[in-house]
Structure 1
Amino acid sequence: MQSHSELLTGIAIVVAVPIVAALAISGGTKAMLAVGGLAAAAIGVYVGIRHPQWLAWGLAAALGFMPFGYFPGIHLPMYLPFAGGVVLAAIVHRGGPAVFHPLEKALIVFVLVSGVSLIFTGRTVVDVGEFIKWSVATLTVVALLRFPRDVLAKFGRIYVYFAALNGLFGIIVVAADPTHRFIKAFSAFGYGLVETGRFVYTDEGAQRFARLGGLWVDPNMAGVGLTIALAVGVLLLTGPLRVGVVTILSVAILLTLSRAAIFSVLVGVILVLLFHGMRARNRALVLGAMGAVAAGAMLTPAVRTRLFSSFSSDDVGSSARGDALRAFPGQMAGHWPFGLGWGRPEFKDGNTAFTLNFVANVPLITIYRAGLIVGFAFLVVLAIGCIMSSRAIRGDSGARALYGGIFIGVCLVALQLDHMVATIQQVTLMFSILLVFLVVVDQDQKSSRHAQTAAEEPVTNRSYSPLLR
């Protein structure tokens, strides 16, 4: 039963919306934009106060399906108000004193020392804006972990479902849409307005193969989003649903031809096989699944050629990475303490990034942008995550073990082969999701170890505001 105040609020919205819309239409485009902005702000405030979990679920859907989409009619990224709203909701709806996980503490320190670097290198509004957007994306980890476990689990499942739907769309494009017309169906959200050919094809010697980009557009970004969705899906889904979703995500990862994503998952599976205790039957099933995936990959010319050419002399990507690494010390000369700055053109413009060919490595690009101190803080975050992951691999849950293995794989492979987790806020948010559920895995791991003495003890002693439920 709805309360009297909630009913009155609903009636007011139903009555006011048609009136405001009519006034906006009669006032022209500027009036429409102004009223639209005010309406969005009002709705955001209402949702943030009354139903903050909706912001989290909206963020999951946006990141999973249209991470680079814009709200129709206004040049506002879809992810940004959701992420900002989640952070603000966590601040407004505080329950009791917060209990922070060690990984959360490390992230907060990471953001603080990054702010110090901004003081020394920030010269323009662009620098400040980039830092704020990155901070929101990073602190979303802390904000999401303030929500109760059931809300967090639903957030993860929504992200997985929408990422799988995005991956399925990408599979259809690769299989049946060589001219990429299907993406124009999302033109109202900012997709298909510019040529995306260079993002979805790769030259391998004399051959050219389509790469899955989906609504991530860039295949390497798709690889990151799909890999994280795969890890979260294995953790949160069960039964036939898990099998179906994981199959879609696995096929999509292969079709991205992203070596970073493919080898990250492969490293994770190998770590589980080596260090996780499992029954012989389960080990045989894992090996059989790996064999089936490997056979499918080898039977697909694009995947086979991409993997076997990874370290050949005509692999342009490997050569460019080597050139960037050799140039890195010279680029950093005189800038080691606090980096070169946050709002640099190579972080904002793809053509400038391709021309400059700066280092494609997340730890190094963190140093490039904000200096050695910030780079060290980021490495501490990764080290804590890898320690947590190693505990999960040695634990009693296969799903948690694979999650930990994939996290280590991402740290050892994906973060070393590309820079997007550091420089593109949507991808930073995807990595934040990976960190959120790594904390959940670690909490479950500790709870499992102490179950014999405290079977009914809650996983965490946080106190939640009722409105976050």
Structure 2
Amino acid sequence: MRRAMRSHSELLTGIAIVVACPIVAALAITGGTPVVLAVGALAAVAIGMYVGIRHPQWLAWGLAVVLAFLPFGYFPGIHVPLYLPFAAGILLAAVVHRGEPTAFHPLEKVLIVFVLVSGLSVIATGRSLIDVAELVKWSIATLAVVALLRFPPADLAKFGRIYVYFVTLNAVFGIAVVAADPNHRFIKLFSPFGYGAVDTGRFVYTEEGAQRFMRLGGLWVDPNMAGIGMMIGLALAVVLLIGSQRIVIATILSVAIVLTLSRAAIFSVLVGVFLVLLFHSMRARNRGIAIGAIGLVATAAMLTPAVRARVFSSFGADDAGSSARGDALRAFPGQMSGHWLFGLGWGRPEFKDGGTAFTLNFVANVPLITIYRGGLIVGAVFIALLALGCIMSGRAIRSDSTANALFGGIFIGMCFVALQLDHMVATIQQVTLMFSILLVFLIVVDQDRQRSRHAPQSPTDFAKEPSYSQ
């Protein structure tokens, strides 16, 4: 019955495309700019319908490419973010291509509750369609976790590897900019996708005394966003790749993370690695190699003036970032007065305009900004989500798999460092979607740990492919 319905849908789609093509062509020839944009939208819908029905996995792989390599790109000629149609497409594909019933993981259940209570906060505080639009975009990015987990394991593993490969390509582009493009002109190569329209120089330099240091931003533009994107890519690389490929890509991403000078990303990874060294039962030889590698990286980093100045400025009284965070935390209770239950709202100017956000200096902390936007109920569910994720990560650290342990360590490090120092995971949909990918593979790692517990294997090392990537 389901096969017949699918064939019927394919037939209707084919007829619609055949009938629409002459009309679309005529409109494109005779119409002005609005008509051309409408024609482009119709063409995109037709193509999306075909791909969603016949090849839904292409939508997932396209999402991996654009999110990893052109996260803030737009479709040429149309002011539509590249990631959005792909993310919405995988949600529709998960509904259309329902296979055998799949039990929801506990983390998925909490995530669904998180979206539902966020909807209630918009009902209570919404003042315009902007609030609804922000909720819809954020919900698409968040519920991508549920949609991606409905794909077959092989397709999901391929999705993760594509993300890793293109994150690495983005990192290499960023390294090239740092090494050979002091005026940051290379990014104009991607101007058809909306890059280079703003002054990116303010994102890639930091000043320490009389010195200026270029920070790696790549096509994330903002070095702190680059740090999050590559940190997630690093976590996926250790569980989805094997052998020399894993070593080379992990090395490139580690170097690139250091070059971002993003203290949130650097310290998140370091916390994750130290947790693995402390609590994971690995061979003495592997532990020695890991400690030696950390020592070499730390030495090289401290010999680099930019990194040394950036790291040690974190502990100084004259660190402007720390002072601003302190001011925002002190102002937070007053800002929330009278709005604790449902928050201040979703479509506020500080979430849409960088200048307004800088002037207001609202709290740069994901759990607190979740409360700021949606209230205590939403914030409590989000904290429960992070707590469950950390419990799962702790189990991964104590598992037999070194790769899974590193993934779990990076997740905990991100929760306790990166999410406490910046708000992008909550307020920027592309970064929310990157975090959703991390949650997807956290669930995959937890399922792999459960399978390994019921069917014991020899400990996983860096030369053995994880079972779920088969």
Task: Quickly name the TM-score band, shorter chain normalised.
Answer: over 0.9
Once the two structures are TM-superposed, the CA of residue 137 in structure 1 deviates from its matched residue by 0.6
In the alignment, which residue of structure 2 is the partner of 1:133? 137
1:260-279 to 2 correspondences below 5 Å:
260-279=264-283
Once the two structures are TM-superposed, the CA of residue 208 in structure 1 deviates from its matched residue by 2.2
* Secondary structure, counterpart of 1:399 in structure 2: helix
TM-score when normalising by structure 2: 0.92
* Secondary structure, counterpart of 2:207 in structure 1: strand
Q: What are the superposed Cα offsets for residues 244-281 of structure 1, whole Å, 9 maximum, x if unpaired?
A: 11111111100100000000000000000000001111
1:317-466 to 2 correspondences below 5 Å:
317-452=321-456
Residue range with higher mean Cα deviation, 298-307 or 73-82: 298-307
Q: What is the alpha-carbon distance in structure 1 between the residues aligned to residue 47 and residue 307 of structure 2?
A: 46
| Counterpart amino acid of residue 313 in structure 2 | S
In the alignment, which residue of structure 1 is the partner of 2:201? 197
In the alignment, which residue of structure 1 is the partner of 2:304? 300
- What is the number of residues matched between the two proteins? 452
1:9-88 to 2 correspondences below 5 Å:
20=24, 24-88=28-92
* Secondary structure, counterpart of 2:170 in structure 1: helix
Question: Taking structure 1 as reference, are residues 452 and 217 closer, same or farther at Cα in structure 2, changes over 3 Å only?
Answer: closer
Once the two structures are TM-superposed, the CA of residue 15 in structure 1 deviates from its matched residue by 12
Q: What is the alpha-carbon distance in structure 2 between the residues aligned to residue 241 and residue 25 of structure 1?
A: 49
* Secondary structure, counterpart of 2:154 in structure 1: helix
Q: What are the superposed Cα offsets for residues 391-413 of structure 1, whole Å, 9 maximum, x if unpaired?
A: 00000000000000000000000
1:158 lines up with 2:162 in the alignment? yes
Q: What are the superposed Cα offsets for residues 353-397 of structure 1, whole Å, 9 maximum, x if unpaired?
A: 011000000000000000011100000000110000000000000
| Matched-pair contact (CA < 8 Å) for 1:205–1:314 | no
Residue range with higher mean Cα deviation, 259-268 or 279-288: 279-288
The structure showing larger relative contact order (alpha-carbon pairs under 8 Å, at least 6 residues apart) is: 1
| Matched-pair contact (CA < 8 Å) for 1:341–1:369 | yes
* Secondary structure, counterpart of 1:180 in structure 2: coil
Once the two structures are TM-superposed, the CA of residue 189 in structure 1 deviates from its matched residue by 0.1
Residue range with higher mean Cα deviation, 381-390 or 200-209: 200-209
Structure 2: give runs of 5+ residues left out of the alignment. 1-6, 458-466
Once the two structures are TM-superposed, the CA of residue 203 in structure 1 deviates from its matched residue by 2.4
In the alignment, which residue of structure 2 is the partner of 1:467? none
Q: What is the alpha-carbon distance in structure 2 between the residues aligned to residue 79 and residue 313 of structure 1?
A: 40
Once the two structures are TM-superposed, the CA of residue 31 in structure 1 deviates from its matched residue by 2.8
Q: What is the alpha-carbon distance in structure 2 between the residues aligned to residue 262 and residue 185 of structure 1?
A: 29
Deviant stretches of 4+, over 3 Å: 5-23, 25-28
Question: Taking structure 1 as reference, are residues 132 and 284 closer, same or farther at Cα in structure 2, changes over 3 Å only?
Answer: same
Tell me how large the CA RMSD over aligned residues is. 2.2
* Secondary structure, counterpart of 2:182 in structure 1: coil
| Matched-pair contact (CA < 8 Å) for 1:400–1:441 | yes
Q: What is the alpha-carbon distance in structure 2 between the residues aligned to residue 177 and residue 60 of structure 1?
A: 27
Structure 1: give runs of 5+ residues left out of the alignment. 454-458, 461-469
Once the two structures are TM-superposed, the CA of residue 50 in structure 1 deviates from its matched residue by 1.1
| Matched-pair contact (CA < 8 Å) for 1:170–1:212 | yes
Q: What is the alpha-carbon distance in structure 2 between the residues aligned to residue 21 and residue 246 of structure 1?
A: 48
| Matched-pair contact (CA < 8 Å) for 2:160–2:236 | yes
Q: What is the alpha-carbon distance in structure 1 between the residues aligned to residue 405 and residue 390 of structure 2?
A: 12
Q: What is the alpha-carbon distance in structure 2 between the residues aligned to residue 32 and residue 367 of structure 1?
A: 42
Q: What is the alpha-carbon distance in structure 1 between the residues aligned to residue 18 and residue 68 of structure 2?
A: 30
Q: What are the superposed Cα offsets for residues 279-300 of structure 1, whole Å, 9 maximum, x if unpaired?
A: 1110011111111211221122
Q: What is the alpha-carbon distance in structure 1 between the residues aligned to residue 247 and residue 173 of structure 2?
A: 18
Once the two structures are TM-superposed, the CA of residue 70 in structure 1 deviates from its matched residue by 0.1
1:186 lines up with 2:190 in the alignment? yes
Once the two structures are TM-superposed, the CA of residue 206 in structure 1 deviates from its matched residue by 3.7
Alignment match of 2:112 (pick from 92, 108, 111):
108
In the alignment, which residue of structure 2 is the partner of 1:208? 212
Q: What is the alpha-carbon distance in structure 2 between the residues aligned to residue 448 and residue 375 of structure 1?
A: 34
Q: What are the superposed Cα offsets for residues 184-229 of structure 1, whole Å, 9 maximum, x if unpaired?
A: 0100000001111221112234432111111001110001000000
| Counterpart amino acid of residue 441 in structure 1 | V
* Secondary structure, counterpart of 2:91 in structure 1: helix
Question: Taking structure 1 as reference, are residues 237 and 324 closer, same or farther at Cα in structure 2, changes over 3 Å only?
Answer: same
Question: Taking structure 1 as reference, are residues 233 and 10 closer, same or farther at Cα in structure 2, changes over 3 Å only?
Answer: farther
* Secondary structure, counterpart of 1:203 in structure 2: strand
| Counterpart amino acid of residue 61 in structure 1 | V
| Counterpart amino acid of residue 427 in structure 2 | T
| Counterpart amino acid of residue 288 in structure 2 | A
Q: What are the superposed Cα offsets for residues 3-47 of structure 1, whole Å, 9 maximum, x if unpaired?
A: 9x9999999989997995576245343332121110000101111
* Secondary structure, counterpart of 2:362 in structure 1: coil
Q: What are the superposed Cα offsets for residues 153-180 of structure 1, whole Å, 9 maximum, x if unpaired?
A: 0000010111110011011111111111
| Matched-pair contact (CA < 8 Å) for 1:25–1:31 | no
